[in-house]
Amino acid sequence: MVLLNLLVKPAWVVLENVVQDRLGHEVFGTFTALLTLATIVAGISDLGTTQLTTKRLAAAPGFFQEYFPTLLPLRVGLGVGFLGATVGVGWALGYRGHWLLLLAITAAGLLLTQYMLFLRGVLQAHQRFNTDAVLSVLERLLLLGLVLALLPLGLTLDRYVGVRTVAVGFTFLLLLVLIRRFYGRVALRPRWEQVRQVLLDSWPLALITLVYGLNERVDMLMLERLVSAKEASYYAAAYRWVDAVMMYLWTVLPLFFARFAHATGRRQEQQDLLWFGQRVVTVPLLFVVGFGLFRGELLFFQFAHSTPAEVARMTQCLQLLFLNVLVHAFFALYSTLLTSTDHEKPVSWLVTGSIALNVGLNFLLMPRYGALAGAANTLLCAVVVSVGYVWLVPRRTGVQLPWAMLLRLGLVFGGLCGGWYLLRTYAGLPWWLETALAGLWLLALVAGLGVVKPSEIRQLRGKA
């Protein structure tokens, strides 16, 4: 199921690029802004109750019978309230008529998705991981099939929004059936003292969700409102690939989160983990970033109806955003160390500051530079936050940073870019052969500069 999830994400990126190409940048850019607004609101709609419920259920199974008669109607009420809030914010931002209706439908689908995450927390807490894994990929598989079926029939925005709603609705109904079968009927008897207690306990989690949700999504909404739908569409096409690449980080970092937390109070063990994790997290992404910088235009092969200038614009955004990935490849692990050792507050303040900086720069630069400003501002904010991580880690955790390894990794990336530039400029090879040679050059640099030592390879072979 993990492999299937990893395969579905790139397939969806390619298909969504096809959808964007068929609908056109103007239409898809406006829809992207609506989707972004709905995603931000839906992300905070549960006010942290999903994470709180999963933790409480895992620790005390009796929490289900005691609190779910209150939690289920509470979540429904929050969903309805946030749906109204989404439409209200959309109206305040200037959306009217059919666009406002599409916003409401899209927001309703995303709120159902959030409700499913809440219910899936019950399955996770009761160790039903196989069922949860199937449900996690079912909606996206259904949507892939429905969109593929639409392509020969004629794809319109209304039909696209419709099949998205059908996919989430079917998955939601299936989950309700499974929950009732596993746990029986739950009587809905909300108790106000429980509502108050749950909201108080979940509020810190809601703030963290809000901060990170805004940080990732605000650029596309601001581009569409401040500049044009086309510029938002160019940015969305580039960011879609960034989101797919970052899946590697979101897969690996939770593993180190658990290990860092387990080693709390053992500084040397945490330092060894950090120094080891630096290579695990960074090295694979160096190659991906290099490909984006030198062959990024190949990732937009689906855009047959776009002009060369539009593809070039998307490629420029991709290159800037891939530099943002590079920054995360070097420093995101430090955020994981901080949050796993109960230093969430300074991390949240750092991210909040980066949001304020990003929004301010967007207002200043987006009207003149469009999507490129959004990508550049995102990169700058990632650098600022990463400097904060570097400053915080030794002061809050006492763990020393692997400066020598960071220097070696920087030299590896510089050498990779130099070699790739020579291949691209002078060799005249097919892109696939050029990429393969660049990959071999990366391996040679990793070995030659001592990022991975032969003794470590022999040790791994011995364990195998």
Q: How confident is the model at residue 204 (pLDDT cuts 50, 70, 90)?
A: low
Instruction: Read off the DSSP letter of residue 297.
Output: G
Q: Of 226, 254, 271, which one is at a domain's C-terminal end?
A: 226
* Domain-located, residue 231: no
Contacts of 375 (CB under 8 A, 6+ apart): 219, 235, 238, 316, 317, 320, 321, 324
Q: How confident is the model at residue 210 (pLDDT cuts 50, 70, 90)?
A: low
Q: Which two tokens stand for residue 71?
A: 């939690």
Task: Inform me whether the pLDDT recorded for 2 exceeds 80.
Answer: no
Alpha helices in 263-343 (DSSP H): 267-295, 308-340
Q: Of 175, 195, 226, which one is at a domain's C-terminal end?
A: 226
Whether residues 84 and 110 fall in one domain? yes
Whether residues 146 and 249 fall in one domain? no
Whether residues 427 and 339 fall in one domain? yes
Whether residues 217 and 240 fall in one domain? no
CA distance 72 to 79: 11
Whether residues 54 and 196 fall in one domain? yes
- Report the share of the chain in percent with pLDDT over 90: 50
Give the pLDDT mean for 168-183. 83
String of DSSP letters for 340-354: HTT-HHHHHHHHHHH
Q: Of 197, 226, 255, which one is at a domain's C-terminal end?
A: 226
* Unique residue bearing structure tokens 């990929």: 137
Q: Which residues of 330-352 are buried (b: 16+ CB within 10 A; e: fewer)?
A: bbbbbbbbbbbbebbebbbebbb
Residue 235, amino acid: Y
CA distance 452 to 446: 6
Estimate the crossing angle of helix 97-125 against helix 63-92, to 10 degrees: 160
CA distance 401 to 385: 16
Mind listing the pLDDT tens digit for each residue in 375-393? 999 999 999 999 999 999 9
Question: CB of 178 within 8 A of CB of 122?
Answer: no
Taking Cα atoms as reference points, which of 363, 393, 302 lies closest to residue 10? 302
Whether residues 148 and 77 fall in one domain? yes
Residue with the bigger pLDDT between 396 and 204: it is 396
Q: How confident is the model at residue 166 (pLDDT cuts 50, 70, 90)?
A: very high
Q: Which two tokens stand for residue 165?
A: 């709603």
Q: What is the dihedral of CA 193, 196, 199, 200, to 10 degrees?
A: -110
CA distance 346 to 390: 12
The helix, strand and coil proportions of the chain, stated in percent and rounded to the nearest 5, come to: 85, 0, 15
Task: Inform me whether the pLDDT recorded for 423 exceeds 60.
Answer: yes
Whether residues 262 and 125 fall in one domain? no
Query: For the whole model, what pTM was predicted?
Result: 0.85
Whether residues 67 and 184 fall in one domain? yes
* Domain-located, residue 252: yes
pLDDT of residue 25: 93
pLDDT of residue 368: 94
pLDDT of residue 207: 67
CA distance 257 to 374: 30
Residue with the bigger pLDDT between 18 and 181: it is 18
Determine the structural domain holding residue 449 and report its residue range.
236-464
pLDDT of residue 205: 62
CA distance 86 to 284: 39
* Domain-located, residue 372: yes
pLDDT of residue 80: 87
Residue 121, amino acid: G
419 Cα distance to chain centroid: 31
Whether residues 216 and 262 fall in one domain? no
pLDDT of residue 6: 63
CA distance 386 to 40: 23
Residue with the bigger pLDDT between 189 and 227: it is 227
Whether residues 286 and 201 fall in one domain? no
pLDDT of residue 120: 75
Whether residues 407 and 364 fall in one domain? yes
Within 10 angstroms of residue 155's Cβ, the number of other Cβ atoms is 17
Total of domains in the chain: 2
pLDDT, averaged across the chain: 85
Mind listing the pLDDT tens digit for each residue in 329-379? 999 999 888 887 778 788 888 888 988 999 999 999 999 999 999 999 999
Task: Inform me whether the pLDDT recorded for 430 exceeds 90.
Answer: yes
* Domain-located, residue 148: yes
Whether residues 281 and 195 fall in one domain? no
Question: CB of 442 within 8 A of CB of 416?
Answer: yes
- Report the share of the chain in percent with pLDDT over 70: 85
